Amino acid sequence: MKRLKNHILYLMRKIVQGVWESMRQDILKERAGEDMVILLRNWKSRVRRYKIYRAFLSLMLAVSCTALAGMLYYYIDSSIPSTINLRAGEEESFNLGVPARAEIISVSDRGTSNIPPGAVDIDLSRTVTLKAPAQTSYQMQVKLFGLFSFKDVDIHVIEDQELIPVGAPVGIYVKTDGVLVIGTGEFQGSDGASYSPAKYILKSGDYIRRVDGVEVNQKDDFIARVRESGGREMVLTLERDGEQMEVQVTPRQDGSGEYKMGIWVRDNAQGVGTMTYIDSQGNFGALGHGITDVDTSTLMHMEGGTLYQTDIVDIRKGSAGNPGEMTGMIVYSSDHVLGEITDNSIRGIFGVCNSKALDMGVREALPIGLKQEIVLGPAQILCTVDGTPRYYDVEITAVHMDHDNINRGIELLVTDPELLAATGGIVQGMSGSPIIQNGKLIGAVTHVLTNDPTKGYGLCIQSMLNAAEQTLDEAA
């Protein structure tokens, strides 16, 4: 009986052990499955992160390549001038250092080049020497890496000339070609309501040339015509963005019974600048930039203008963030007239001197310096601070060969202690001051760097002369 009992107990233990072992194996298998699932999940997560990282790196690589290509394009484009000036009969050397080749594709007096295509291959990665025997113009096509058309460069062959640097302050008065619209606004009508008849019809920068077919040039004349309209619809002929158009505006009465359109207008502008040069024909160039309307910031369309003698009565020194200013006293009388302003362009104002202005050109005439002849380093500007034009030391810190920097082709730094003590650097009113380097007139001061008045910009003198020549051609 005891044996049987022991045997039964033994069998039961074996059964329990077998069941437990089976359960343990099942648990291990289940845990192994869970571990495998976790491993699979981790692997999928890693693959997903890897794909994200790879996409991000690919995107960054694409952005970097695009940025690099853009920087390379900008560098090459800014290194190749859109216009090159050469003196007739003289060799001029250039070292642009860009991976491009070029060839002459047209000549101004022939229309197209008689040189077979590819016969003259110009490697712009090396120093290039050009020479033309007579005054004419060429067009040179530039190909990037010698394969892709990149840009066309105009080559102007000019006769050498000398200019008298002036550096004297001048008062400027210009009459607009028509009545300039400054802006529109509202006024209260006789019925107490607000009106703005010209809103959405006229806009800042419009030039009103005619009212109901009658030419108008003076602000007072225009205002009088509106006042006398009796509230009838008026037809205005105006110029907008270089195009002429007609619009209809119906004036309304304000609270006092006066008819108005609800616009601000101007018919003239005044200011102080510096005369840059006088040429051998008695023509002058000044400012180095155009006269723009203070409210619309657009180049003013000029009907005519007068240059006046002026005296600097006060100088406000410039500081970081606060550009200084020269204040001049202008006497608008016939005995103070210096000449007639014939053109207002983005490169300066130009006109004809009278005998009084010619007496200001007492300095020796200087040869002009072309852009490729400007070097980094010492130079001088000629300007008037104490009543007499004097030379002050500056340093040329950069020269931009590209044509897009019309008024900022030269960067300069004022280093003269006397000028820094008197003005703090470059101030408003010094625009047009001649820049002299190595005995040549190379440009004119145009702008001051607002955050640092010791730094400024200049315009290359040939750009001013090209604008002046264009003015004479249009007048002829």
Cα separation, 27 vs 340, whole angstroms: 106
User: Of the residues 229, 289, 343, 400, which is catalytic?
Assistant: 289
- Going by DSSP bridges, is the β-strand pair 92-94/83-87 parallel, antiparallel, or unpaired? unpaired
Instruction: Give the type of residue at 222.
Output: F
Q: Catalytic: 311?
A: no
Listed residue (456, 344, 471) closest to 407, CA to CA:
456
Candidates 294, 273, 276, 310; CA nearest to 428 is: 273
**Hey, CA dihedral for 217, 219, 221, 223, is it positive or negative?**
positive
* CB neighbour burial string for 242-276, b if at least 16 within 10 angstroms, e if fewer: eeeeeeebebbbeeeeebbbbbebbbebebbbbbb
Torsion angle in degrees (nearest 10) through CA of 175, 177, 178, 184: -80
User: Known catalytic residue: 400?
Assistant: no
H or E element, residue 357 = helix 355-358
Q: Is 431 an active-site residue?
A: yes
Whole-angstrom distance, CA of residue 259 vs CA of residue 271: 32
Q: Compute the half-sphere exposure of residue 306: CA atoms within 13 Å on the CB side of its CA.
A: 13
Residue of 206, 293, 343, 416 with catalytic role:
416
| Pairwise CA distance, residues 238 & 196, whole Å | 19
Task: Name the catalytic one among 431, 433, 447, 463.
Answer: 431
Q: Report the C-alpha gap between 83 and 80 in whole angstroms.
A: 9
Cβ atoms of 169 and 310 within 8 Å: the answer is yes
The answer for residues whose C-beta is within 8 angstroms of residue 271's C-beta and 6 or more apart is 171, 172, 291
Give first-to-last CA distance, the chain, whole Å: 144
Which of 270, 368, 376, 287 lies closest to 327 in space, CA to CA?
A: 270
Closest CA to 154 of 140, 134, 143: 140
Give catalytic residues, as residue numbers: 289, 416, 431
